[in-house]
Amino acid sequence: MGFRPFIYRLAVRNGLAGYVRNRGDAGVEILLEGDAQNIAYFMSDLTAEKPPLAQIYSISKAELSGKIQYQNFTIYKSSQEAETSGSIIPPDIAICDQCLAELRDPKDHRFEYFFITCTNCGPRFTIIERLPYDRENTTMKGFPLCGFCLKEYEDPANRRFHAQTVACPTCGPKAYLTTNTGESVQTNDQVRLAGKLLSEGNVLAIKGYGGFHIAASTLREKPLQVLRATKHRREKPFAIMAKGLEAAKGFAEVGSKEQELLTSPARPVVLLNKSSSYKLSPLVAPHLHNVGVMLPYTGLHYMLFDQVEDPAFVMTSANPPNQPIVKDNEQALKTLGNTVDYFLFHNRQIAHRCDDSVMRVHGSRQVFLRRSRGYAPAPIRLKQKSKRCVVSIGGELNNTSCVLFEDKAFISQHIGDVENIETRGFLKEATNHLQHLTNCKGETVACDLHPKFTTTILAKELAEADGSPLVQVQHHHAHAAALMAEHGLDEAVSVVCDGYGYGADGEAWGGEVLFCTRESVEFKRLGHLEAQPLLGGDLASRYPVRVAAGMLSKTGLNVEEWLTKNSQHLPYGETEAKLILTQLKKGSGILETTSCGRVLDAVAALLGVCFERTYEGESAMKLESRALFGNAILMLEPQVQGNILGTSCLLRAIYDNLGRVSPADLAYSAHAYLAKGLASLAVKKALELGTKNVGFTGGAACNQILSQLMRETVEKAGLRFLAHEAVPAGDGGVSFGQAVVAGFSKF
């Protein structure tokens, strides 16, 4: 990140000779010759003035004896031998302020050049084909530098000295606008015309750093309706790109932490609460209190807004159902032509696809919903060094993979749901790339415990091919291990809540209290939520009326009336309701789950908040939105029997108070019951075991109300509460958890 040129400038300023060179392990080696006082100045300048993106983890110094060898200071080119283990590949970085100023300066050579970059900004991970990070190893290799750019590239005093992405209108990538069949649209202002087309109600596919976005107006219903119909996304919220921070503040609440994230070099999508002046179409984020917003991160994005009044555009990943984000021009024409009216292409290839990252803020703490562009594949630093190099390939949904090498865990970009061949191919490719970059051959392979997951099968193949041991890690154990590793802890009691994970006993788990230690592949299941019937298996996850009926009937309630009244929310109406009743009466052969997600689904159905789950976490998200405006009116003491927190009683209490207590208050009360019940159980166990750490992880840990109430309960008991800040709490963090279990446990 412009670190070597920075060193060069410091050395020259302090009158020192010698060299700086990259070492493959992502360190730099600096040799200095000169006056001791000047070297001391150099050292203090080094930490005081380092570039904003550079991170100095440690400095080791050694004094050399011998003759003076150097006349001046040189930046050595990366050598091939530097390609050793543990290299750090920088993530993509949003356009910096200086480049943005130049983009807008009519006197600048790069005035209005949409891919203006320098050593401090621009794409990295998505264009790097191999290391070392030199231009010929990136997809910029097809764009030889013109005389102007070359002069800057070779001038150590210039901000673009050795900037591998440096380009200008003469020599760099070009943008072009086409119709949905690929015929070029004649204009000399491609990008701004694209912005106008969006504003007028057209749907566009726009090529970014890590793939294509589908873009549309946030103010008009029509394009959003079309998009929802063709993308098979009836309700799933669309991420949007705001024109700027002020524009975002016009429709959403932006706290200081949110602002910091929005404007950070990573430029993630940040979930912001809709403000009272929210006037965007309700189709952007239906029935939710928040909306995912990012700010422009390339010159092209900024220019889209130049000639329109729109405060924001929809900017959602372009991926056909269950497939990875589209990255190649040809593929885009083929797969997106039916969805969009126009394409805004550019002619630089994307070496690695990378979706936008998604975050939210709990209090003042950041929470990753998806850790991808801007972060991946920068490693997570661990407190200890792993003795083994581990390759782990995660679970089945919202997946990532991970390579653990010594004290660095390289988590891949977001891969997605690994249920079809394209995404599986992407998983393999991304994992291979991480292995290649880190030179980690996978001495140990880790995966989920589920015998039938495609990732388990893939991991077995990998392990067999290399003759490596395979470590299968239970899903919730992986979540807990990820949380502990993030905090560098040896042991903790963790509450793990999500939708589904294959349990150690082969049952469906998802509301667990576990005790794990860093050194053991084993863990203790200390408690869990009451097992609830999943009437119809996967159908129950889709239609929560089924779960609610099953749970209510356990309390002795005759659910016939309620079920008949709500049969309109089942695809086959009353016929289906009757079938469910028959099944309930029979009572045998019904799958069960301890999932927290299914309890939230059932509450959402009971309150009429959500009757069909059309995207992952839908009812839980909508229920949280409803609960935000509620209070704990319904005070329920947690019902714990034999370390099992009852949930049927919760549902029954809500049922009995329907119409008497507002849905918002009931929704909040349900959150309070689950959070306090599970946290109290975990606290009790932690005190018994003599451990001070109680954590909360799993997809449900992204829920602000649950997380906050758990924190209060744990801290009130004088224990330390752990939450994720560096790794996703959801299944994007599972590969990391698997890797640390396989890397650190004794076996």
- The least CB distance from residue 723 to Zn ion, in Å, is 15
The residue to which tokens 């159902």 are assigned: 321
Binding site for Zn ion (CB under 5 A): 96, 99, 118, 120-121, 146, 149, 168, 170-171, 498, 731
- The least CB distance from residue 113 to Zn ion, in Å, is 9
Residue of 598, 472, 478, 469 lying closest to 529 (CA atoms): 598
Q: Which residues on neighbouring strands pair with residue 513, listed in sequence order?
A: 495, 527
- The least CB distance from residue 707 to Zn ion, in Å, is 15
What the block records as the tokens of 629 is 């405006």
CB-nearer residue toward Zn ion: 96 or 254:
96
- The least CB distance from residue 10 to Zn ion, in Å, is 20
CB-nearer residue toward Zn ion: 258 or 498:
498
The residue to which tokens 């991160």 are assigned: 297
CB-nearer residue toward Zn ion: 148 or 655:
148
Cβ(116)–Cβ(110) below 8 Å:
yes
- The least CB distance from residue 735 to Zn ion, in Å, is 11
CA distance 695 to 198: 45
Query: 19: helix, coil or strand?
Result: strand
* Residue 505 CB contacts under 8 Å (≥ 6 apart), including other chains: none
In degrees rounded to 5, what are phi and psi of residue 689? Answer: -85, -10
Listing DSSP states for 383-402 in one string gives SS--SS-EEE---SSSB--E
Listing DSSP states for 654-681 in one string gives HHHHBTTB-HHHHHHHHHHHHHHHHHHH
**In the chain, what is the greatest distance between 2 CA atoms, to the nearest angstrom?**
94
- The least CB distance from residue 746 to Zn ion, in Å, is 25
Residue 156 CB neighbours (<10 A): 15
- The least CB distance from residue 363 to Zn ion, in Å, is 23
Listing DSSP states for 452-466 in one string gives T-HHHHHHHHHHHHH
- The least CB distance from residue 622 to Zn ion, in Å, is 20
Sort residue 86 into left (φ over 0), alpha (ψ -120 to 50) or beta: left
Question: In a 10 Å sphere around its CB, with 0-12 CB exposed, 13-18 middle and 19+ buried, how is residue 188 labelled?
Answer: exposed
CB-nearer residue toward Zn ion: 103 or 131:
103
What the block records as the tokens of 724 is 């994720």
Cβ(332)–Cβ(427) below 8 Å:
no
CA distance 40 to 631: 60
- The least CB distance from residue 146 to Zn ion, in Å, is 4
Which residue type, as a one-letter code, is found at position 639? Q
- The least CB distance from residue 121 to Zn ion, in Å, is 3
What the block records as the tokens of 197 is 């087309």
DSSP category for residue 94 = P
